[in-house]
Amino acid sequence: MKIAIFGKPFDPEKQATAKRLLDIFKKYPIEIVLDNDLREILEQMNADIPYASFSGYDFDADMALSLGGDGTFLKTAERVGKKEIPILGINLGRMGFLADVQEDEAEAAIGDIAAGRYTAEKRSLLHVTEGSRAAWPYALNEAAILKLDTSSMLAVHAYLNGAFLNTYQADGLLVSTPTGSTGYSLSAGGPIVAPQATSFVLTPVAPHSLTMRPLVIDDNDEIRLVAESRNGHFLVSLDGRSEELNSGDSITLRKAPFAIHVVKHNGRLFGDTLRKKLMWGVDLRSHR
């Protein structure tokens, strides 16, 4: 088995954790290759790195390992792309919906991976088929149309399968996947959607009218968005990677023809994650 490991700059405590996790792999017949950025971080600690490294998208592996939070997981998903190899996220960050293996679970998770005891969930992505210059025009969480800085609100004209749906007067409009429903969309008032659902969610950001509510659509629908702004520009963001477009420009979105495969350890269910991360069922009154 060959695993490609990705990470980002950590604080000193997390750097030590990353080094400790790498040492665990020495117990198993697993070939390790490191992303160059992670190698540079560990070399700053004078760590002994007996592994080959790679840069960019030029790697092959049976699995990818993301050391960090959900942001690091999203960057790892971009690097994995169409390879469709499963990704295990070990959470060295905060919330951890995607990177949901905690530090104290990591050693057991690595042992189970080595023994082949794991499952992987398919997660759909959005594909910007027209209107973007992005080098990687896909989003695992969401595609967002957003106003620039403190400019006035946008008018976003939305079309489903070529038919006019609505004009959103708002600070922006999000099109999220089920995976992204617990991210930006949730903070903007969107619904939580089970990861395996075959749907996308349109969620307005700070809409001018309270009747403009989030809308769940079929993930086979084609979505075209035309944004108009008084200052002549707006932002398109794909999982936080932004580019500026001109007022009147449009983007077209469809479901991507490939998926991201998220490793789930110990058969963890979505409901378990909601209870743990969002404290569902916790009576805060008992802590007063």
In sequence order, what DSSP letters do the residues of 220-260 get, joined into one string? Answer: T--EEEEEE-TTSEEEEEETTEEEEEETT-EEEEEE-SS-E
Owning domain of residue 228: 126-255
The reply to whether 11 belongs to the active site is no
Q: Which amino acid is at 258?
A: F
State residue 216's pLDDT score: 98
Residues in the chain: 288
Residues 165 and 269 placed together within one structural domain of the fold: no
- What phi and psi, each to the nearest 5 degrees, are found at residue 267? 60, 30
Residues 205 and 247 placed together within one structural domain of the fold: yes
Residues 142 and 189 placed together within one structural domain of the fold: yes
CATH number of the structural domain spanning residue 105: 3.40.50.10330
CATH number of the structural domain spanning residue 249: 2.60.200.30
Residues β-bridged to residue 243: 236
Residues 133 and 246 placed together within one structural domain of the fold: yes
Residues 79 and 164 placed together within one structural domain of the fold: no
Q: How far apart are CA 152 and CA 107, in angstroms?
A: 50
Residues 102 and 24 placed together within one structural domain of the fold: yes
State residue 156's pLDDT score: 98
Q: Which amino acid is at 43?
A: E
State residue 75's pLDDT score: 94
Helix axes 12-25 and 106-114, enclosed angle (nearest 10): 30
- What phi and psi, each to the nearest 5 degrees, are found at residue 246? -90, 150
Residues 6 and 102 placed together within one structural domain of the fold: yes
Residues 71 and 177 placed together within one structural domain of the fold: no
Helix (H) or strand (E) holding 139: strand 138-139
- Total domains in the chain come to 2
Q: 96: burial class by Cβ within 10 Å (0-12, 13-18, 19+)?
A: buried
Of residues 35, 70, 171, 239, which has the active-site annotation?
Answer: 70
Looking up tokens 């963890």, which residue turns up?
268
Residues 163 and 67 placed together within one structural domain of the fold: no
Query: Each residue's pLDDT tens digit in the chain (288 positions)?
Result: 999 999 876 667 777 788 888 889 989 999 999 999 888 877 777 667 788 999 989 899 999 999 988 999 999 999 999 999 999 999 887 767 888 888 888 999 999 999 999 999 999 999 999 999 999 999 999 999 999 877 789 999 999 999 999 999 999 999 999 999 999 999 999 999 999 999 999 999 999 988 899 999 999 999 999 999 998 999 999 999 999 999 999 999 999 999 999 998 776 677 777 776 677 777 666 655
